[in-house]
Structure 1
């Protein structure tokens, strides 16, 4: 039986999403980091191995820093680095392309999740803000982070497929493949596997044989990826206390809308989670609730996985790293969709409680977008400064400069910058030198 792909049109103009995506592309190119900074410098030995026909012997298929596979991102970055002559702007365009696919998929999920509901135009604009949010700039401006959008697409596309009215085996298998590729972008895509199994298991209208046929490839692929990850990882980080994991997770999710107010963020997230319980119970028998809960569950899974890997070493405040906003925003997309679906037709509850809460959240998200956009501008300015200083000082590079630009990779970065210099890659490319 064919899948139902079509979804109802939104009440806002068809050009709104493409225009917003183009604006974010312009901002990405304007604010992109013009050299390989921080972890990005780890791509250099992989490029060198590729140039010598020894890619399989490099770090290409291995865990990066003992926590994430980046093989899918490496494949993209090898291509963009070669095509651009070592200029990171094309890496950023590739990241934006994956992000644009992600945004389009999320927009289709929104249309599917609100089908048949009388949803005001303003809430559609609010969804557009959360989907095309300036918080993504922290990842879009840094070419290395193409991995983030490969990862997110690998989770969100299967959610889209499995929440269709009549998904097919072909779409299910495509979702499994995308999720596996997503894990090879960022390991946090593993959170998509239990979400997919839950979506399949709760299909009460399906016979158990069909549910098993859909679940089996997810079980096999998920088990294989977990086994590979466990076999490849290095020494385990200390497991944090449950309280630290909980606070880290609340901070992680709250950073998507309240990074500018870190004290308020975990409490607002906790309130959102508590409010989601009666909303879920109210519309639990409606199939439209599935995509909203799936997005929330995936983001919560990302938060928990990251907390288990990072909170014990870095503490709960580490969850406010700006780059995590891309993983936390799906939670708020799902939450907004759920709350509107559940309460829009309950006049008293909607007017007194739910609508003010949603308006406040959208206002926070707007302010947070400005806050994170400002941070992206600051990161760009610092990166431009680092590039100019490296060109001016090379080969006698100041230790403080190297520490700022590469952190604990400062020592190996000196050797890798020598290769970039030999190849004529940024920051040593001719165009950049001519602009000094």
Structure 2
């Protein structure tokens, strides 16, 4: 039996697609092994958002070649679509597949004999007009379920439309089928993922008509039996409607956790980024969540150092986030991307200034998370425990995304338990004590 190993860079969406491709290999008779083990074939799912993506890719290829110099190496994913020739030129790479070809990888793999040079099969991104559903099961406690792919937005800093094509969605029926499959495996939590999941409902072949809305999707998933938790991974503020927020507040399965990209608290910078909202709408979304779910966790994406971002713009963003009732930040330092409008904009921010601003916002994030955790002390929450023993502790997350710890007990793995949050430990993780009864075994 031939062996195949996978390495995934980037987002939850990439992980869900890697898992689906891996299952296809297993159906074809391959044995999946860890990337550190000897395999006949190594598949690397690349990411275009990662800093120094080409350097990272080269080191992963070297890692595979060290374990088995005769192995067949394939590169797939976003970076493979954007820079296929660059990846094909890396020593040891045999095959590079673009956005549509990656799901038909078996058609391009022959007898796994190594090529003299990397072969490239990457369509023009306009041809990426069909949808392939997928899901990944991470640590056996949660799954990432892909519901949408591609993006029609034209944000000036972003390569994702170039790497993944137009916005298109899975059918509602197929999403529900995948959700049932996941629940039957004993997985307690599903995280919805995609490039722009609030745009759910657009069909294939560039059909702009929405067969269903995102609200239709969450309402239907809420009725699937056997799913204890559903989590919305990330959703654009202009697509997060009041109806969705209100539904989540009263739902059976959806948890009070939202991750909403902001990118900048300055309206001037938002306009330069060609985002589809201004800061006032963002405030409105946060306030609506707080009105319906005071205990909700709200995460924010923000980019620092965008071209033309002055000290005044940055301080506007800092003050905006400092005053906003949010729970944590994901801070991204702007870096130039080929073929994006922002890469040729005037007044680039010096790298040292970008780094300083990033450090300031990361510090703010630590304070915000600490304040959110402390606001939850003394409350009773449900924790889903994960499967790893980390220095004698088992970790888990509450429904509103508070990370907790408890002395290691293997019987708690993949169980939901009622706990009281007691104190924030020195490492920033919350200690707990059990409430009498368990929610489920």
Q: TM-score, normalization: structure 1?
A: 0.31
Whichever structure has more strand as a proportion of its residues is: 2
Q: Scaled by the length of structure 2, what TM-score is found? A: 0.31
Q: Which has the higher helix share?
A: 1
